[in-house]
Amino acid sequence: MAHPKPHAIVIPYPYQGHVTPMINLSIRLASSGFTITFVQTEFIHHFISKAQNLVAADVDLFDDARKSGLDMRYQTISDGFPVEFDRDLNFNEYWESMFRDFLDRVDEIVVRTMKADESSETLPFLLIADTFYTWPATIAKKHNMVNVSLWTEPAIVFSLDYHLELLRQNGHVPYNGYADSHINYIPGIQSISIGDLMTYLQDPEAIPMITQIANKGFEQRRAFGLNLTAPSGSNKPSGSVLYISFGSIAQSNKEEIGELAHGLLLSEVYFVWVLRPDIIGGNGTDILPEGFEDVIKDKGLIVPWCNQIDQPTNRKLVVDDWKIGVDLCDGEHVEREEVASKISIIMRGETSIQMKQDMEEVSKKLHDSLDAGGSSNRNFDRFVEDLKAKLCMRNP
C-alpha cells in the first residue's frame, strides 16, 4: 500500500539570513512530493512585508509556489513580543524569553497542524528547524516525528562550533589576545586566525546570550563585506555592480554609515546596498546623509532586506579563500577615502581583473553543483531518500 504524502513542519530561525535557506529547502522538498507548512514569526513576517512595501496581511511567501501546483502552507507564530518591540536593543531579554517560552508555542502549532488533517494518525510528519534552536528534539520525540536540523551558515562556522571543546582545550577560546595566531587543528579547516573566529567565540562574555544560543544548539555571528555582482534583470555588465551587506544582526552607527555612503559617492561605481533599518538600533530613521538617495538614484539601489546568507568568519571565505572581495577598512574606524580606495581596488585595475576571474571560477563551481547530476542535486536526492526511509520506519 502506498504511504501517505509526507508533511514537513518547517520553522526557521528569526533572522533574515536564516530564513532564505529554509525557504529554498521547503520549495525543493515540496517539488519532491512533500506537503510543507512553513511557520514564520510574526515579527519577521512584518519585517519582510515592510521591506517589500506591502501590507502584512497580503504577504504569502509561497503564493506563486502553490499556483505552480506545490502543496505549501504558510503560518505565523508569536515570539511573545509585540511587533514594535526592539529585539536587537533588548537582545538578552528577547532570547531569554525564547528559551523559556517558545517551545510551548511551537508545540501548540504542531498539534494544531497535525489535527487539521483528518488522516494525521497515519500521515508521516517531520519537523525541520534551525540547528540553533534547542527544543526540536523534544517536540519531535513527543509527537513521533522525524527530526531534521538545518544548518544555515557556512560549513566552516559549523565545524568551529562543533569543535568548541577542542578550541577550549588548546586555549583559543576564550580569546587569548593574539588575533594573528592561527588555528590549524580543526578537521576540515586548513588554517584560520583567531581574529577570524565568530565574535561570540572571540569574546564569550561580550555577547553571552549568543554564546549560550550557539552552545545549546549543539548540545541537543560582526563583519562588513564587499563583493562583485550583477543583479538579476540588471542592464549593467557582469561584475560591474558592487554588492554591500551587513548581515542579519550586525550593528553600526550613523557616523560609520555616513562615511561608507560618502565613500560610495567618491568611488562613482554602480552598487546595491542592503541596509537594514535597525542597523544603528531603534527605528533606524534618517540613517543616510541628507540628500544621499537623490544623488545616487542613477548609480545605486538601497534595499532594506535581501535574499542573503550569513556574513568575521565569512569575511575569511570571501576575502582570503575565494578572493572575490576586500576588507572594507584596515583599522577600527570607517573613513570615506579608504572606502573609495577599496572600492577602486575591486572595480578597476589589475586586481579587479583577477578578482573577476576568481569570481567567475567560484560561480562556475556553484552552477556545476546545481546542474543535473551535480553534487548539490545528488546530495539532495540522497537526503530525500533517507527522509522517506525514516518516515516509513515511523509509519509502517
When pLDDT is averaged across residues 169-185 and rounded to a whole number, the result is 78
Question: Which has more confidence, 216 or 244?
Answer: 244
How far is Cα 11 from Cα 125, in angstroms, rounded to an integer? 14
Quick check: 266 pLDDT over 80? yes
Quick check: 219 pLDDT over 60? no
Dihedral of the alpha carbons of 342, 343, 344, 345, in degrees to the nearest 10: 50
pLDDT at residue number 121:
54
Name the grid cell of 284.
Answer: 533606524
Q: How confident is the model at residue 269 (pLDDT cuts 50, 70, 90)?
A: confident
Question: Which has more confidence, 388 or 284?
Answer: 388
User: Edge-to-edge strands of the sheet including 72-77?
Assistant: 72-77, 35-41, 7-11, 125-130, 146-150
Lowest model confidence (mean pLDDT) among 68-72, 107-111, 207-211, 365-369: 207-211
pLDDT at residue number 3:
58
**pLDDT one-digit tens code per residue, 178-195:** 656 889 999 888 888 887
pLDDT at residue number 139:
95
Q: How confident is the model at residue 74 (pLDDT cuts 50, 70, 90)?
A: very high
Query: CB count, 10 Å around CB of 240?
Result: 14
> What SS3 state is found at 256?
helix
Do the domains 225-347 and 7-153 match in fold? yes
How far is Cα 299 from Cα 295, in angstroms, rounded to an integer? 8
pLDDT at residue number 236:
63
pLDDT at residue number 109:
96
**pLDDT one-digit tens code per residue, 83-120:** 999 887 888 899 889 989 999 999 999 999 998 876 55
pLDDT at residue number 383:
93
Quick check: 214 pLDDT over 70? no
Beta bridge pairs of residue 303 = 274
When pLDDT is averaged across residues 222-247 and rounded to a whole number, the result is 55
Percent of the chain with pLDDT over 70: 78
When pLDDT is averaged across residues 117-145 and rounded to a whole number, the result is 84
pLDDT at residue number 385:
92
Quick check: 248 pLDDT over 80? no
Query: Residue 221's closest CA among 308, 311, 158?
Result: 311
When pLDDT is averaged across residues 167-175 and rounded to a whole number, the result is 83
Query: Residue 35's closest CA among 79, 74, 2, 84?
Result: 74
3-state helix, strand, coil in the chain (%, to 5): 45, 15, 40
Query: Residue 245's closest CA among 231, 227, 263, 232?
Result: 227
Question: Which has more confidence, 151 or 327?
Answer: 151
pLDDT at residue number 150:
94
Q: How confident is the model at residue 125 (pLDDT cuts 50, 70, 90)?
A: very high
First to last CA, the chain: 10
Quick check: 146 pLDDT over 90? yes
- Let me know if domain 7-153 sits in CATH 3.40.50.2000: yes
Tell me the fold of 225-347: Rossmann fold (3.40.50)
Lowest model confidence (mean pLDDT) among 14-18, 161-165, 207-211, 233-237: 207-211
Q: Do the beta carbons of residue 71 and residue 30 sit within 8 Å?
A: yes
Q: How confident is the model at residue 251 (pLDDT cuts 50, 70, 90)?
A: low
- pTM for this model (two decimals): 0.71
Tell me the domain boundaries of the chain. Answer: 7-153, 155-219, 225-347
What number of residues does the chain have? 396
Query: Residue 56's closest CA among 44, 66, 64, 39?
Result: 44
Quick check: 371 pLDDT over 80? yes
**pLDDT one-digit tens code per residue, 288-329:** 778 888 888 777 877 665 433 345 788 788 888 888 887 776
Query: Residue 111's closest CA among 120, 119, 102?
Result: 120
Q: How confident is the model at residue 80 (pLDDT cuts 50, 70, 90)?
A: very high
Report the chain's mean pLDDT, rounded to a whole number: 79
